Amino acid sequence: MLESSVEFKEISLYGKRLFLTNDQCTLQEFPENIAVVKQEGLNSRKIKPTDTIVSVDGVKIGNGNLVIAAGPCAVESEDQTLEIAETVKKLGADMLRGGAFKPRTTPYSFQGLGKSGIKILKQAKEITNLPVVTELMDISDYEAFNDVDMIQIGSRNAQNFSLLKFLGSRNQPVLFKNGMANTITEWLSSAEYLLSGGNEKIVLCYRGTRGFDNATRFTMDSGTIPVLRERTHLPICADPSHPAGNRNYVEAIALASVAAGADMLEVEVHNDPDSALSDSKQQLTFEEFEKLVRNARKIAEMVHPKMRIEG
Amino acid sequence: MLESSVEFKEISLYGKRLFLTNDQCTLQEFPENIAVVKQEGLNSRKIKPTDTIVSVDGVKIGNGNLVIAAGPCAVESEDQTLEIAETVKKLGADMLRGGAFKPRTTPYSFQGLGKSGIKILKQAKEITNLPVVTELMDISDYEAFNDVDMIQIGSRNAQNFSLLKFLGSRNQPVLFKNGMANTITEWLSSAEYLLSGGNEKIVLCYRGTRGFDNATRFTMDSGTIPVLRERTHLPICADPSHPAGNRNYVEAIALASVAAGADMLEVEVHNDPDSALSDSKQQLTFEEFEKLVRNARKIAEMVHPKMRIEG
Amino acid sequence: MLESSVEFKEISLYGKRLFLTNDQCTLQEFPENIAVVKQEGLNSRKIKPTDTIVSVDGVKIGNGNLVIAAGPCAVESEDQTLEIAETVKKLGADMLRGGAFKPRTTPYSFQGLGKSGIKILKQAKEITNLPVVTELMDISDYEAFNDVDMIQIGSRNAQNFSLLKFLGSRNQPVLFKNGMANTITEWLSSAEYLLSGGNEKIVLCYRGTRGFDNATRFTMDSGTIPVLRERTHLPICADPSHPAGNRNYVEAIALASVAAGADMLEVEVHNDPDSALSDSKQQLTFEEFEKLVRNARKIAEMVHPKMRIEG
Amino acid sequence: MLESSVEFKEISLYGKRLFLTNDQCTLQEFPENIAVVKQEGLNSRKIKPTDTIVSVDGVKIGNGNLVIAAGPCAVESEDQTLEIAETVKKLGADMLRGGAFKPRTTPYSFQGLGKSGIKILKQAKEITNLPVVTELMDISDYEAFNDVDMIQIGSRNAQNFSLLKFLGSRNQPVLFKNGMANTITEWLSSAEYLLSGGNEKIVLCYRGTRGFDNATRFTMDSGTIPVLRERTHLPICADPSHPAGNRNYVEAIALASVAAGADMLEVEVHNDPDSALSDSKQQLTFEEFEKLVRNARKIAEMVHPKMRIEG
Interface contact flag, D252 A185, Cβ < 8 Å? no
| Amino acid C307: pLDDT | 47
Query: How far lies A176's CA from each of A48, A134, A155, C86, C295, in Å?
Result: 19, 11, 8, 62, 50
Angstrom distance (rounded) from CA D290 to CA D89: 10
Is residue A199 within 8 A of residue A175, CB to CB? The reply is no
Angstrom distance (rounded) from CA D245 to CA D267: 12
Angstrom distance (rounded) from CA C179 to CA C177: 7
Is residue C131 within 8 A of residue C57, CB to CB? The reply is yes
- In D, which residues are within 8 Å of B210 by CB distance? 212
Interface contact flag, C214 A214, Cβ < 8 Å? yes
| DSSP single-letter state for residue C62 | S
Mean pLDDT of D194-200: 94
Query: How far lies A281's CA from each of A155, A272, B155, D231, D311, in Å?
Result: 19, 11, 29, 18, 25
Q: How far is A220 from chain C (nearest CA, A)?
A: 15
Q: Show Cβ contacts of residue C34 under 8 Å, excluding neighbours closer than 6 positions.
A: C16, C17, C18, C19
Task: With cut-offs at 50, 70 and 90, classify the pLDDT of residue D102.
Answer: very high
A-C Cβ pairs (cutoff 8 Å, strict): 6
Element holding B297 (H helix, E strand) = helix B286-307
Q: For strands A16-20 and A9-13, give the pairing.
A: antiparallel
Interface residues from chain C to A (CB-CB < 8 Å)? 210-212, 214
| DSSP single-letter state for residue B69 | E
| Amino acid C306: pLDDT | 46
Is the pLDDT at A32 greater than 80, yes or no? Answer: no
Taking only the tens place, the pLDDT of each residue in D207-233 is: 999 999 999 999 999 999 999 999 999
Task: With cut-offs at 50, 70 and 90, classify the pLDDT of residue C2.
Answer: very low
Q: Which residues pair with C44 in a beta bridge?
A: C232
Closest D-chain CA to B219: D212
Mean pLDDT of C243-248: 97
Residue-by-residue DSSP string for chain A = ----SS--EEEEETTEEEEE-SS---GGGSSSS-B--TTT-TTBTTT--SPP-EEETTEEESSSSPEEEEE-SB---HHHHHHHHHHHHHTT-SEEE-BSS---SSTTS----THHHHHHHHHHHHHH---EEEE---GGGGGGGTT-SEEEE-GGGTT-HHHHHHHHTS---EEEEPPTT--HHHHHHHHHHHHTTT---EEEEE--B--S-TTSSSB-BTTHHHHHHHHB-S-EEE--HHHH-SHHHHHHHHHHHHHTT-SEEEEEB-SSGGG-SS-TTTPBPHHHHHHHHHHHHHHHHHHHHHHPPP-
Closest CA to A172 of A41, A265, A56, A17: A56
Radius of gyration from C-alpha coordinates of chain D: 19
Q: For strands A54-56 and A202-206, give the pairing.
A: unpaired
Q: Show Cβ contacts of residue A239 under 8 Å, excluding neighbours closer than 6 positions.
A: A177, A205, A206, A207, A208, A265, A266, A267
Angstrom distance (rounded) from CA C218 to CA A26: 51
- In A, which residues are within 8 Å of C210 by CB distance? 212
| Amino acid A212: pLDDT | 97
Q: Which of C210, C214, C218, C242 to mutate to test the interface with D (most CBs of D within 10 A)?
A: C210
| Amino acid D77: pLDDT | 97
Q: How far is A146 from chain C (nearest CA, A)?
A: 38
Angstrom distance (rounded) from CA A36 to CA A25: 10
Interface residues from chain A to C (CB-CB < 8 Å)? 210-212, 214
Mean pLDDT of B39-53: 89
Interface contact flag, C252 B230, Cβ < 8 Å? no
Q: Which of D212, D217, D219 to mutate to test the interface with B (most CBs of B within 10 A)?
A: D212
Q: Which of A214, A222, A294 to mutate to test the interface with D (most CBs of D within 10 A)?
A: A222
Angstrom distance (rounded) from CA B229 to CA B44: 10
Q: For chain C, list the contacting chains (3+ Cβ pairs, <8 Å).
A: A, B, D
Q: How many CB atoms are located within 10 Å of the residue C7 CB?
A: 10
Backbone torsions φ then ψ of D85, nearest 5 degrees: -60, -50
| Amino acid D19: pLDDT | 75
Angstrom distance (rounded) from CA B144 to CA B118: 7
Q: Which residue has the higher pLDDT, B36 or C96?
A: C96
Q: For strands C264-268 and D9-13, give the pairing.
A: unpaired
Taking only the tens place, the pLDDT of each residue in B68-82 is: 999 999 999 999 999
Q: How far is A187 from chain D (nearest CA, A)?
A: 11
Mean pLDDT of A258-271: 98
Interface contact flag, B183 C215, Cβ < 8 Å? yes
Interface residues from chain C to B (CB-CB < 8 Å)? 181, 183-185, 208-209, 211-216, 219-227, 229-230, 243-244, 248-249, 251-253, 255-261, 291, 295, 298-299, 302-303, 306-307
Query: How far lies D209's CA from each of A221, C21, D249, D252, in Å?
Result: 10, 33, 16, 17
- In B, which residues are within 8 Å of A210 by CB distance? 181, 210
| Amino acid B5: pLDDT | 55
| Amino acid D115: pLDDT | 97
Q: Which of A36, A102, A106 to mutate to test the interface with B (most CBs of B within 10 A)?
A: A106
Is residue D136 within 8 A of residue D162, CB to CB? The reply is no
Q: How far is D258 from chain B (nearest CA, A)?
A: 27
Interface contact flag, B140 A139, Cβ < 8 Å? yes
Task: With cut-offs at 50, 70 and 90, classify the pLDDT of residue C14.
Answer: confident
Taking only the tens place, the pLDDT of each residue in C30-76 is: 555 555 656 678 999 988 999 999 999 999 999 999 999 999 999 99
- In A, which residues are within 8 Å of D261 by CB distance? 252
Element holding C122 (H helix, E strand) = helix C115-128
Interface residues from chain D to C (CB-CB < 8 Å)? 20, 22, 38, 41, 103-108, 137-141, 156-157, 159-163, 165, 179-181, 186, 189-190, 192-193, 196, 209-210
Mean pLDDT of C167-196: 96
Closest CA to A151 of A82, A199, A106, A183: A199
Backbone torsions φ then ψ of A210, nearest 5 degrees: -70, 125
Q: For chain D, list the contacting chains (3+ Cβ pairs, <8 Å).
A: A, B, C
Taking only the tens place, the pLDDT of each residue in B181-227 is: 999 999 999 999 999 999 999 999 999 999 999 999 999 999 999 99
Angstrom distance (rounded) from CA C195 to CA B236: 42
Q: How many CB atoms are located within 10 Å of the residue B176 CB?
A: 24
Is the pLDDT at C1 greater than 80, yes or no? Answer: no
Angstrom distance (rounded) from CA C205 to CA C238: 5
Q: Which residues pair with C95 in a beta bridge?
A: C69
Task: With cut-offs at 50, 70 and 90, classify the pLDDT of residue B38.
Answer: low
Chain mean pLDDT for chain A: 91
Closest CA to B74 of B248, B249, B241, B244: B241
| DSSP single-letter state for residue C37 | P
Q: Which of B41-50, B159-168, B192-201 has the lowest mean pLDDT?
A: B41-50
Is residue D260 within 8 A of residue D222, CB to CB? The reply is yes
Task: With cut-offs at 50, 70 and 90, classify the pLDDT of residue D14.
Answer: confident
Interface contact flag, C160 D161, Cβ < 8 Å? no
Q: Which of B207, B221, B229, B251 to mutate to test the interface with C (most CBs of C within 10 A)?
A: B221
Taking only the tens place, the pLDDT of each residue in A215-248 is: 999 999 999 999 999 999 999 999 999 999 999 9
Find the length of chain D. Answer: 311
Task: Say if residue D281 is exposed, middle or buried (CB neighbours under 10 Å; 0-12, 13-18, 19+).
Answer: middle
Q: Which residues pair with B268 in a beta bridge?
A: B71
Q: Which of A16-20, D18-22, D223-227 has the lowest mean pLDDT?
A: D18-22
Q: Which of C210, C212, C214 sits opposite A210 (nearest CB)?
A: C212
Is the pLDDT at D306 greater than 60, yes or no? Answer: no
Mean pLDDT of B151-161: 97
- In C, which residues are within 8 Å of D184 by CB distance? none
- In B, which residues are within 8 Å of D210 by CB distance? 212
Q: Which runs of E-coded beta strand occur in C7-63?
A: 9-13, 16-20, 54-56, 59-61
| Amino acid D310: pLDDT | 40
Taking only the tens place, the pLDDT of each residue in A277-292 is: 988 999 999 999 999 9
| Amino acid C29: pLDDT | 54
Interface residues from chain B to A (CB-CB < 8 Å)? 20, 22, 38, 41, 103-108, 137-141, 156-157, 159-163, 165, 179-181, 186, 189-190, 192-193, 196, 209-210
Angstrom distance (rounded) from CA D9 to CA B265: 57
| Amino acid C17: pLDDT | 80
Taking only the tens place, the pLDDT of each residue in A33-53 is: 555 656 678 999 988 999 999
| Amino acid A291: pLDDT | 97
Is the pLDDT at B255 greater than 90, yes or no? Answer: yes
Q: How far is B17 from chain D (nearest CA, A)?
A: 45
Q: Which residue has the higher pLDDT, D139 or C29?
A: D139
Is the pLDDT at D162 greater than 70, yes or no? Answer: yes
Q: How far is D213 from chain B (nearest CA, A)?
A: 7
Backbone torsions φ then ψ of C294, nearest 5 degrees: -60, -50
Chain mean pLDDT for chain B: 91
Q: Which of B137, B181, B196 sits opposite A161 (nearest CB)?
A: B137
| 3-state secondary structure (DSSP) of residue C238 | strand
Angstrom distance (rounded) from CA D85 to CA D89: 6
A-B Cβ pairs (cutoff 8 Å, strict): 90
Backbone torsions φ then ψ of B231, nearest 5 degrees: -85, -35
| Amino acid A28: pLDDT | 54
Interface contact flag, C249 B227, Cβ < 8 Å? yes
Burial B44-81 (b: 16+ CB within 10 A, else e): bbebbeebbebebeebebbeebbbbbbbbbbbbeeebb
* CA geometry: angle C223, C228, C232, nearest 5 deg: 165
Interface contact flag, C105 D137, Cβ < 8 Å? no
Q: Decide: pTM greater than 0.90.
A: yes
Is the pLDDT at A311 greater than 70, yes or no? Answer: no
Closest CA to D72 of D94, D93, D97: D97
Angstrom distance (rounded) from CA C284 to CA C213: 22
Q: How far is D224 from chain B (nearest CA, A)?
A: 20
Chain mean pLDDT for chain C: 91
Element holding C134 (H helix, E strand) = strand C132-135
Answer left, alpha or beta for residue A14, where phi above 0 means left and psi between -120 and 50 means alpha.
left
